[in-house]
Amino acid sequence: MADIGAEEARELARRELSKPEYHRDEPGLFQRVLEWLLERLTELDFAVSGRLPGGWLTIVVAVIIVVAIGVAIWLYLRNPGRHRTSRALLDESRPRTAAEHRADSERLAREERWAEAIRERLRAMARDLEERAIVDPRPGRTADELAQEASVTLPDQRDGLFHGVRLFDDVWYGERPGTPDGYLLLVGLDDRLRAARPAPLSPTGGPA
């Protein structure tokens, strides 16, 4: 079977990876990665002959590898929430009180900016728990860590905390739309947390 030139190999990979479904979300980034992959594919060519050794077998293997890498990048870009939930919930560069976060959430709700209203309400809860010494103030705490730490002291609120954080993650990182019902769920959780009192601690340091 006849050998295939490196330029033909590049074109095969380019046609596959240029399909819009691979780079719909972040075309600039994907294009840079695509060019890098195609350059690596070209390097498989031997300068002496200008041909790829192995004919179709080499081409097929090389294209499969490039496409597999491209698909992995595409899946990463399609699911940003999986990689972003480690971000800190509170912005400590300009610390604000629970009351300020709560007022912002109410203003955003009136403007029907539901995703931002949900985020500010969860921030209000986080700051309120710190102000009441339910959790220790800690820069960089994520929403998931907040739920885990607060549920130790407020075990009766555990399910609500994790449900609220999951809603926040889905809306803010998972690209799901914020809704009035989602916002009201966070408002209800905020009210319950403000009324909750820490459980007595056992000698081991956990809830009695």
* Confidence class for position 43, pLDDT limits 50, 70, 90: low
- Token output for 111: 């403007």
Residue 172 has pLDDT above 90, yes or no: no
Phi, psi of 2 (to 5 degrees): -70, 145
5 compared with 88, residue with greater pLDDT: 88
pTM here is: 0.58
Q: What is the pLDDT of residues 51-61, one digit of tens each?
A: 555 555 555 56
Residue-level pLDDT at 48: 38
> Mean pLDDT across the chain, nearest whole number?
76
* Count of CB atoms situated within 10 Å of the CB of 157: 20
Residue 8 has pLDDT above 50, yes or no: yes
* Confidence class for position 36, pLDDT limits 50, 70, 90: low
3-class secondary structure for the chain? CCCCEHHHHHHHHHHHHCCHHHCCCCHHHHHHHHHHHHHHHHCCCCCCCCECCCCHHHHHHHHHHHHHHHHHHHHHHHCCHHHHCCCCCCCCCCCCCHHHHHHHHHHHHHCCCHHHHHHHHHHHHHHHHHHCCCCCCCCCCCHHHHHHHHHHHCHHHHHHHHHHHHHHHHHHCCCCCCCHHHHHHHHHHHHHHHHCCCCCECCCCCEC
Average pLDDT estimate for 28-39? 59
Residue 29 has pLDDT above 90, yes or no: no
* Residue 205, Cβ density class (10 Å: 0-12 exposed, 13-18 middle, ≥19 buried): exposed
Residue-level pLDDT at 81: 45
47 compared with 106, residue with greater pLDDT: 106
* Count of CB atoms situated within 10 Å of the CB of 194: 14
Residue-level pLDDT at 13: 58
Average pLDDT estimate for 90-96? 82
CB 69 within 8 A of CB 37: yes
